[in-house]
Chain A
Amino acid sequence: MRTEYTQTALQIIRSYDGPPVRIMEVCGTHTHEIFRLGIRQILPSQVDVISGPGCPVCVTPVGYIDEAVWLALEKGVTICTFGDLVRVPGSTLSLAGARSRGAHVEIVYSPLDAYDYARQHRDEEIVFLSVGFETTTPPSCLAVRNARRDSVTNFSLLTANKTMPRAYEAMKDSADAFLYPGHVCAVMGTGDCEAMVQQGVSGVVAGFTAKELMTAFAVILKKIQKGEPFFKNCYPRVVTREGSRTAKELMADVMEPCDAEWRGLGCIPQSGLQLRPAYAAWDARKKYGIPLIEGRANPACRCGDILQGKCKPPQCPLFGTVCTPEQPVGACMVSHEGACSAYYTYGGNIR
């Protein structure tokens, strides 16, 4: 079912004969779809795709896992989390390891499920591991706001929420054009991406179907040849300039910017979100007095370089031998949206 539209995009991509281009996608779903569709195979050799820091699991620092393990083992709280985080290695233990030592870890699919669990288990202390970008942050905020409304006190968040705009800025020297994340832009609008043009940074907002992704790549390859920084919304059926006002207001009410550590990238000022003082009672760090934990990642792991496009997963000494999806060392191998996991899974004919 190759539509004519996709054919045209395909022709533009295949016939590109301009200068080398580095395109960075910063969305885990894009990473996965680009591999699944085999887009890398049809790109001309001078076009490189870098899987940037777009998977929330992959950018979650080791110290955060250590905090969760500490809460589970030292304070005996029930950890509610997205499943992907369970196998991310901490300094000494993953949550899966903590579970085998008696930690209570519940897998949930939404922060609101964690909140429901807390309401149904009032004799337990529940901490939800609140990771993610502007897409998963609003439901976390909603859960906390509901907890305040309902006076539910056995529920709190361990926040590691992150925002995208500072990451674009931090990564701008690693790429010639960004494939901006469609879901994040659906929430936040396109203002942050448009502002990047002033800094000389190009990019397009991309959707997730074959047609949408092909169009986005084709637009980048067309526009980049003009030598001017550009922005284009290639996902207009979902993304508007303004984004979701409701979600933005919710986030602004419950959370405030803070400095944040990104796994492999270090601290990016004002790139994180934490609960505002009015919600301190639902902030696990304040509630339990978590000590300052400095996480130690495996020094051989090159997840940080991979996220910046400085190397490809197979160039990491651990890739595919010590580090596999079944026994991951680095976070990029844990989540199926991580670059290492995608390389490993789709192996074979990837250049």
Chain B
Amino acid sequence: MNDVITLAHGAGGRQTAELIDRVFKAHFSNPQFTGDDAAVLSIGGADLAFTTDGFIVSPPDFPGGNIGKLSICGTVNDLSCMGARPLYLSCAFVIEEGFPLAKVEEYAASMARTAAEAGVRIVAGDTKVAGRGQVDHLFITTTGIGQRLAGVHTSGTLARPGDVVIVSGDVGRHGCTILLARNQFGIDADVTSDCAPLWGTVEAMLERTKDIHVIRDATRGGVGTVLYEIASQSQVGIHLESTSVPVHPSVRGVCGMLGLEPLYLACEGRLVIVAPECEAPAILDVLHQQPYSQDAAVIGQVTAEQPGRVVLRTEIGAETMLPPPGGELLPRIC
């Protein structure tokens, strides 16, 4: 590990995991500290999911959303992935001196709209202002609690050989949108972020079946990073069919030009679901009726072979390893 923090430590890949393991886990170790999107705490007979997330996306406005909407979706989705109904959020703002008040209000309004859609209340907050140049526009941190539905038990450790891997929509949109919004490449493409609150989607799925082993939202490191985490946590192999992975044509085009792998571009409204094969038709049926998951598809299978690895069957029928996540792909996407 480097002796200073690099952008790769914040990219959600291997270096991020190393930082968490070697520093944060080493100091914070306790029975409730798991590798999942949220901790589940038993308090007064209820199973509460609890999580927090910081948002520093640049630019703060992008097609399909802004930092305010993103800050609600991120935390709501982390709770939802534990099978927990999001209940209450707090939010902390760090705002740069000189930042327009009207923009702050615009982001607050986005947050309120998104929270209302997710059925969650923002009940506490904090505001700090930093001197000009000490933060870039504004950073938002949200913290949330939710109540886990009875009979639901999902975790990255529960994938079993024979399970299918489902992704709830086309991958890599948020990362691609941010990339283009920075205007560094002179590429114009019609891509909007997939940023969306997913409790409604998860709830509808869990109403149909509770026999789901893993639900994860693919954020920073994209679907590829999530799959590697599941393969490692559950000690299973994951075999993907590359032609089954839904990718928007514009995202595919941009990735082709820039040499990027769509599976490693960030999503902000996509679930990775691992469930027994017999549940797949029911799950897909529900997903296809929900607004944010109409392109949901089975993309692969969990295997006992090659534990810890993600293997990709390419369009020519060869099997290659999906390159493990690493390094800084794009800084400040969320």
Partners in one complex: yes
* Chain A interface residues toward B at CB < 8 A: 1-2, 6, 10, 29, 32, 35-39, 41-42, 109-110, 113, 210, 214, 325-326, 336-337, 345-349
B262 CB to nearest chain A CB (Å): 12
- Which residues from chain A contact B33 at a C-beta distance below 8 Å? none
Q: Can you list 8 A-B contacts with CB-CB less than 8 angstroms, sorted by A residue number?
A: A1-B315, A10-B316, A42-B317, A109-B185, A326-B327, A347-B321, A348-B320, A349-B321
Instruction: Decide yes or no whether B318 CB sits under 8 A from chain A.
Output: yes
A109 to B180, CA, bound (A): 13
- Which residues from chain A contact B316 at a C-beta distance below 8 Å? 2, 6, 10, 37-39, 42, 210, 214
Q: A32-B259, A109-B185, A336-B259 are known contacts. Are A42 and B321 too (CB-CB below 8 A)?
A: no
Q: Is there an interface contact between B243 and A36, defined as CB atoms closer than 8 Å?
A: no
- Which residues from chain B contact A10 at a C-beta distance below 8 Å? 316-317
A211 CB to nearest chain B CB (Å): 9
Instruction: Tell me the residues in window 240-269 of chain B with beta carbons closer than 8 Å to chain A beta carbons.
Output: 243, 259
Among residues of B, the one whose C-beta sits closest to the C-beta of A347 is: B321
List 6 other contacts, CB 8 Å, given A10-B317, A347-B321. A2-B317, A10-B316, A42-B316, A109-B186, A210-B314, A337-B259
Name the contact of A346 in the complex, choosing from B8, B259, B323, B327 (C-beta under 8 A): B323
Chain B contact surface mostly: loop
- Which residues from chain B contact A210 at a C-beta distance below 8 Å? 314-316
Q: Is there an interface contact between B327 and A41, defined as CB atoms closer than 8 Å?
A: no
Instruction: Decide yes or no whether B319 CB sits under 8 A from chain A.
Output: yes
Instruction: Decide yes or no whether B309 CB sits under 8 A from chain A.
Output: yes
- How many residue pairs link A and B with beta carbons under 8 A? The number is 61
A36 to B259, CA, bound (A): 11
Q: A346-B320, A349-B319 are known contacts. Are A109 and B184 too (CB-CB below 8 A)?
A: yes
Q: Is there an interface contact between A325 and B318, defined as CB atoms closer than 8 Å?
A: no
A41 to B311, CA, bound (A): 13
Q: Is there an interface contact between A349 and B320, defined as CB atoms closer than 8 Å?
A: yes
Could you give, for residues 174-197 of chain B, a 1 whenever the CB lies within 8 Å of some chain A CB and a 0 otherwise? 000000000011100000000000
- Which residues from chain B contact A348 at a C-beta distance below 8 Å? 309, 320-321
Q: Is there an interface contact between B321 and A37, defined as CB atoms closer than 8 Å?
A: no
Q: A1-B243, A345-B323 are known contacts. Are A39 and B318 too (CB-CB below 8 A)?
A: yes
Instruction: Decide yes or no whether B59 CB sits under 8 A from chain A.
Output: no
Q: Is there an interface contact between B326 and A326, defined as CB atoms closer than 8 Å?
A: yes
A347 to B314, CA, bound (A): 16
Q: Is there an interface contact between B327 and A325, defined as CB atoms closer than 8 Å?
A: yes
A6 to B317, CA, bound (A): 10
- Which residues from chain B contact A41 at a C-beta distance below 8 Å? 318-320
- Which residues from chain A contact B327 at a C-beta distance below 8 Å? 325-326
- Which residues from chain A contact B309 at a C-beta distance below 8 Å? 348
- Which residues from chain A contact B314 at a C-beta distance below 8 Å? 36-38, 210
Among residues of A, the one whose C-beta sits closest to the C-beta of B312 is: A38
Among residues of B, the one whose C-beta sits closest to the C-beta of A37 is: B314
A348 to B312, CA, bound (A): 12
- Which residues from chain A contact B326 at a C-beta distance below 8 Å? 325-326
- Which residues from chain B contact A113 at a C-beta distance below 8 Å? 186
- Which residues from chain A contact B243 at a C-beta distance below 8 Å? 1
Among residues of B, the one whose C-beta sits closest to the C-beta of A341 is: B323
Residue among A6, A38, A109 with the highest chain B CB neighbour number at 10 A: A38
Residue among B243, B309, B315, B326 with the highest chain A CB neighbour number at 10 A: B315
Residue among B259, B316, B321, B323 with the highest chain A CB neighbour number at 10 A: B316
B254 CB to nearest chain A CB (Å): 13
A38 to B243, CA, bound (A): 14
B213 CB to nearest chain A CB (Å): 25
Q: Is there an interface contact between B259 and A37, defined as CB atoms closer than 8 Å?
A: no
Q: Is there an interface contact between A37 and B318, defined as CB atoms closer than 8 Å?
A: yes
Instruction: Tell me the residues in window 16-54 of chain B with beta carbons closer than 8 Å to chain A beta carbons.
Output: none
